[in-house]
Structure 1
Amino acid sequence: MGPQQARRIAALLIAALLAVLAACSGSSSEAAPDDTAGSPTTAPAAPAVVTLSLADGAADVPPTTPLEVTVTGGELGDVTVADATGAELAGSLEPRAGDPSTAVWTPEGELDYGTSYTVTATAANAAADERTATSTFTTVTPETLSTPGIGPLDGTTVGVGMPIRVFFDEPVADQAAVESHLLVTSSTPTDGVWNWVRDDEVHFRPSTYWPADTQVTLEADLYGVDFGEGVWGEKDRTISFSVGEQHVSVADAAAHTLSVYDSGQLVQTFPMSAGSTENPTHNGPHVVLEKFADITMDSSTFGLAVDAPGGYRTDVEYATRISNNGEFVHAAPWSVADQGSRNVSHGCLNLSTENAKWFYDFARPGDVVEVVNSIGGTLTAADGDIYDWAIPWEQWTAGSALS
């Protein structure tokens, strides 16, 4: 092979080699291969959803309505409640029992009636993206506010027969709503039940007299409660009282005796004269209401003129009131000869001055005097404030608006 032929073969080999190199490196205009092809992708986090229990624009909202915030797909952040001026209210946030996705905001005080408030709540999802929900609502404006009276008074000590009594300014239209906000607790548990003795008055008592030496508390949480017909509760009240020793006396109109028991032990038996045939004393458990060292008794107070047949006006000592129909245990020196043998009073329980003073000193409001064997009827609503223990238990419990 000659030199010229050798040069041609070398040129062909070089050209082939350049072609191979070009095929391996590719053109500068071609796209580089994608190194991520076939690797997994991450979807963006779903946004948190914030829901408020009160719709924006809600009106006539009871001020005690729970302010609830529910979050899905995230975690709850700040919750604020502000009035119409923008001033934020102090409050606390707690999870709702049994539902970790919902929190309840509770004010330190009370929301006012007839006031606009704005709730703002934020929540963040897993990517820390925040969402906000806002609702403005207005609380109800009552036509009338009501604060009931309560007996016994706070801090007092009463006898075992004293019921709890709640007195309203006018008849209560929604008795169940009111009753459900009257909570009674006692150091010795009882089976006590409320009874609406009138449309504007509700009493609480156990099936038997209160246990002696018991502490009792009534929480009347009536602020924000709808009594019905435009009347709303004005405020909450709490009263506590003590039940003292068990003082239960038995006035036997047939035996003409007053037997006094202290904590179940007989301590006195007095000769007594009860109401006459014309004016018999009522049967049933009476409750001591008040005491007077001196009082003028006047028949005109219960509709019998002083100058009418049987009418009277006289001063008596050591009078212990046991009903509001004119029945007292009191001193009657004019009937000592009849005490223990005949019933000659106008309905009261007559004792000698000495015995009446002893009973006056012994008795306290709430003590019980059970009248038995009288020819008169039994205590009823017509006889005044407290005839509670003369009502059979089944009838009593039926008088609850929640029964």
Structure 2
Amino acid sequence: MQTGAGKYLVRDDTRSFTIGRSQVSTVDMRTHHMAVVRDGEQINNIPVTTGKPGFTTRSGTKVIMEKVGAMTMDSETVGIPKGSPEYYKLDTRWNMRITWTGEFLHAAPWSQWAQGRRNVSHGCTNMGLDDARWMFESSMVGDVVRFTGSDRPFEPTEGIGVWQYSWPQWQQQSALR
């Protein structure tokens, strides 16, 4: 069978694959909680704190891009220099990256007093140690995390941004239109 100029199909091949479980978490920045839903059923509700004024966490649909058990977060990497009152350099646990611009889900025992009550972070989604460990162990790279409640939009270039487009917007980007 010819498939194009000078191109022929030499064999018919079939493959199969299995689609894994669905896990979608929703962070409500106004109620300071994250609902974790797996295969349509809520399996956890975690108190969180997100970005304080001046460091507002972005609303939108993000994707867990990598998981790192332990790391040092240094605010210089996101433009907050040493000497600034907002400077930090902290060892963190149970880190899940959701943007290229420095937003993570992670454990933050120093903010546990605010989790479920108010937003005090520099843009990350902070959880208690046990909740962060549970989330880390229960999540996979590729899981969706939706954020609601802020007026700062997540831009498609800040992470895996395909979820930011409606179907018509996505189709408009096609070279086939």
Q: TM-score, structure 1 length as denominator?
A: 0.40
* 1:293-338 Cα deviation digits (max 9, x unpaired): 1011111222222332312211100011111111111000001110
Q: How does 1:310-321 map to 2 (within 5 A)?
A: 310-321=86-97
Q: How does 1:204-215 map to 2 (within 5 A)?
A: 215=17
Local SS of the residue matching 1:268: strand
Q: One-letter code of the match for 1:394?
A: P
Residue 281 (1) aligns with residue 44 (2) = no
Match of 1:351 among 112, 118, 127: 127
Greater share of strand? 1
Give the whole-Å Cα distance in 2 for the aligned partners of 1:363 and 1:186: 27
Q: How does 1:80-229 map to 2 (within 5 A)?
A: 215=17
Q: How does 1:237-386 map to 2 (within 5 A)?
A: 243-375=19-151, 377-383=152-158, 385-386=159-160
Gaps of 5+ in 1: 1-63, 68-105, 109-184, 188-214, 216-241
Gaps of 5+ in 2: none
Give the whole-Å Cα distance in 1 for the aligned partners of 2:164 and 2:138: 23
Which of the two has higher C-alpha Rg? 1
* 1:128-187 Cα deviation digits (max 9, x unpaired): xxxxxxxxxxxxxxxxxxxxxxxxxxxxxxxxxxxxxxxxxxxxxxxxxxxxxxxxx996
Q: One-letter code of the match for 2:119?
A: N
Give the whole-Å Cα distance in 2 for the aligned partners of 1:302 and 1:381: 18
Q: Report the CA distance shift for 1:389/1:107 in structure 2 as closer, same or farther (over 3 A).
A: closer
Give the whole-Å Cα distance in 2 for the aligned partners of 1:186 and 1:285: 31
Give the whole-Å Cα distance in 2 for the aligned partners of 1:400 and 1:186: 26
How far off is 1:351 after superposition? 0.3
- The equivalent of 1:389 in structure 2 is 163
- The equivalent of 1:66 in structure 2 is 6
- The equivalent of 1:229 in structure 2 is none
Give the whole-Å Cα distance in 2 for the aligned partners of 1:305 and 1:372: 29
Q: TM-score, structure 2 length as denominator?
A: 0.89
CA contact (8 A) 1:297 1:313 kept: yes
Aligned residue pairs, count: 171
* 1:354-375 Cα deviation digits (max 9, x unpaired): 0000000011011011000124
Give the whole-Å Cα distance in 2 for the aligned partners of 1:319 and 1:66: 50
Give the whole-Å Cα distance in 2 for the aligned partners of 1:286 and 1:107: 39
Local SS of the residue matching 2:142: coil
Using the aligned pairs only, state the percent identity: 36
Local SS of the residue matching 1:365: coil
Q: One-letter code of the match for 2:123?
A: G
Of structures 1 and 2, the one with the larger relative CO (CA 8 A, separation 6+) is 2
**Runs of 4+ in structure 1 over 4 Å off:** none
Give the whole-Å Cα distance in 1 for the aligned partners of 2:165 and 2:60: 9
* 1:371-392 Cα deviation digits (max 9, x unpaired): 00124x1111441x31111122
Give the whole-Å Cα distance in 2 for the aligned partners of 1:243 and 1:323: 24
CA contact (8 A) 1:250 1:259 kept: yes
* 1:2-45 Cα deviation digits (max 9, x unpaired): xxxxxxxxxxxxxxxxxxxxxxxxxxxxxxxxxxxxxxxxxxxx
Q: One-letter code of the match for 2:38?
A: D
